Amino acid sequence: MTTSATERGAAEAEAATFPYKRQCPFTPPAEYKEIVEKDVSQVTLTGSGLRIWTVAGYETIRTLLTDPRVSASRKHDNFPFYFVAPPEYRTETSFIGYDGQAHSSTRRKAALTFTSRQVRRLRPRIEEIVDDHLDKLLAMTPVVDFHHAFSLPVPMTVICELLGIPQDRHDFFIKHGTALLGGHSSTEERQAAIVEVNAYISELIQLKKREPGEDLLSRAMADYEASGEEYTDRDLFNMVRLLMNGGHETTASQISLGTACLLENPDQLALLLADPSLVKPAVEELVRFATIGDTAVPRVALEDIEIGGQVIRKGDGILCLGLAANRDPEVFPDPEKLDITRGTRKHLGFGHGVHHCIGADLARLELEIVWSKLFQRIPTLQLAKPFLEIPRKEGAVIYGLWELPVKW
């Protein structure tokens, strides 16, 4: 027998608002225990008070994310923003907020720049960028905030170089990326960030049209022209926004959390130091273990959907909880244990289905290079304060740390 959203008990309606706080950066919130047991259940969102569905099971999430009856569009009234979102969040979106043909055609154009061959070409330059920032880090006097001195500028430098954005604009994008995806921003701050970032991207596109270079944006325009495929400024705009938002804040958060995780698990770090070839499986395991995008997969039901013993009504908002799915013991034996030899790509750290992260290979390459070089060059790296005292980005779209003080 199934129950609908309107048939839930009054006691559940009184439940604490979502998102919940993690017990520690790598431990699911205590409230997830009941959510996991139910698989499909309801929560109340903090920012809006909206009642939405959560889906926690690995297979249930995979099924839902391939179901054409769910939408990624932010334009739906009950789209599950768990913060107060400015109107631009519903209209100014990249193709991750598109459905159907609009999504597939726009994504296909952007994917021209993310083929495995294109990403492999970037390795030498990313290695140079990582080494350069390690040089800068080693020139500092500990204690140093690793997050701001290294984790943020490395992926930002990669992305800005890819797009041909000058060095003096890097701080601009770091600031606005934090405003857009961080957990402390007001509606007004998010709105201002959208306006300023959009204005700059529009200017950048016009500049590259007039003065093309060797950057990714210029190459994308040249590829379109050579193939005879039609494209618009909006296609280019989407690609740049996706790279700036998805390729910077996410990678920076993963670098800091993954580094802290290795420092907190010296047995696993010792394995990596003893066998550098373990870096590829280590990347997969650290992405699974941290799941920085736990609540970053929102959807809306386009029709009534029966799943996990519940009926999700047309128009209801849904959040797929990646952290819960990535701790599913039926998929990941002993899931609470960090095991860098596990190395499976079955995790949902990069999503699933048609909206699987288009930049996953680039992120993997950056993380691989970072964790290969970091501990080789600074083998005595250690945290400068107890890990649980380090402030975390609770309630952020992308989970992470506000700082990471280290010494060596």
How far is the CA of 130 from the CAs of 74, 124, 170, 292, 397, in angstroms? 36, 10, 16, 22, 26
CB under 8 Å to 7, separation ≥6 — which residues? none
Domain annotation for the chain: domains and CATH numbers: 5-407 (1.10.630.10)
Which tens digits make up the pLDDT trace of 67-80?
A: 999 999 999 989 99
Choose the weakest-confidence range: 196-205, 295-304, 334-343.
Answer: 196-205
Write down the pLDDT at residue 8: 42
- Which DSSP symbol is given to 165? -
360: number of Cβ within 10 Å: 17
Q: Does residue 81 contact residue 89 with C-beta atoms inside 8 Å?
A: yes
Residue 305 has pLDDT above 60, yes or no: yes
- The radius of gyration of the chain from alpha carbons, rounded to an integer in Å, stands at 21
For 294-316, give the DSSP string.
TT--EEEESS-EEETTEEEPTT-
191: number of Cβ within 10 Å: 17
CB under 8 Å to 6, separation ≥6 — which residues? 313
> Reduced to 3 states, what is the DSSP secondary structure of residue 52?
strand
**What is the distance, to the nearest Å, from the Cα of residue 105 to the centroid of all Cα atoms in its chain?**
22
Distance CA 14, CA 304 (A): 25
Residue 143: is the preceding peptide bond cis (ω within 30°)? Answer: yes
Distance CA 59, CA 74 (A): 25
How far is the CA of 62 from the CAs of 10, 208, 322, 339, 352, in angstroms? 30, 39, 10, 23, 7
Exposure of 126 in the CB half-sphere (CA atoms within 13 A)? 23
Q: Does residue 155 contact residue 248 with C-beta atoms inside 8 Å?
A: yes
Write down the pLDDT at residue 5: 45
Q: Does residue 189 contact residue 175 with C-beta atoms inside 8 Å?
A: no
Distance CA 275, CA 180 (A): 38
Write down the pLDDT at residue 4: 45
Distance CA 316, CA 77 (A): 9
Write down the pLDDT at residue 17: 86
Write down the pLDDT at residue 176: 65
Choose the weakest-confidence range: 107-116, 147-156, 242-251, 342-351.
Answer: 107-116
Which tens digits make up the pLDDT trace of 231-260?
A: 788 778 777 877 776 677 899 999 999 999
Write down the pLDDT at residue 112: 67
C-alpha distance across the termini of the chain, in Å? 59
Q: Does residue 324 contact residue 35 with C-beta atoms inside 8 Å?
A: yes
Which tens digits make up the pLDDT trace of 24-50?
A: 899 999 999 999 999 999 999 987 889
Q: Does residue 318 contact residue 50 with C-beta atoms inside 8 Å?
A: no
CB under 8 Å to 83, separation ≥6 — which residues? 46, 47, 183, 185, 190, 395, 397
Q: Residue 327 — pLDDT band, cuts 50, 70, 90?
A: very high
Average confidence score pLDDT of the chain: 87
Write down the pLDDT at residue 288: 98
Write down the pLDDT at residue 186: 67
Pairing of β 144-145 and β 317-320: unpaired
Of 11, 39, 15, nearest to 324 by C-alpha is: 39
Residue 184 has pLDDT above 80, yes or no: no
Distance CA 312, CA 350 (A): 25
Choose the weakest-confidence range: 165-169, 173-177, 246-250.
Answer: 173-177
Distance CA 306, CA 360 (A): 31
Pairing of β 317-320 and β 51-55: parallel
Choose the weakest-confidence range: 117-126, 182-191, 307-316, 370-379.
Answer: 182-191
Task: Identify the burial level of 307 via C-beta atoms within 10 angstroms of its C-beta, where 0-12 means exposed, 13-18 middle and 19 or more buried.
Answer: buried
Cα Dmax for the chain: 65
CB under 8 Å to 235, separation ≥6 — which residues? 106, 109, 110
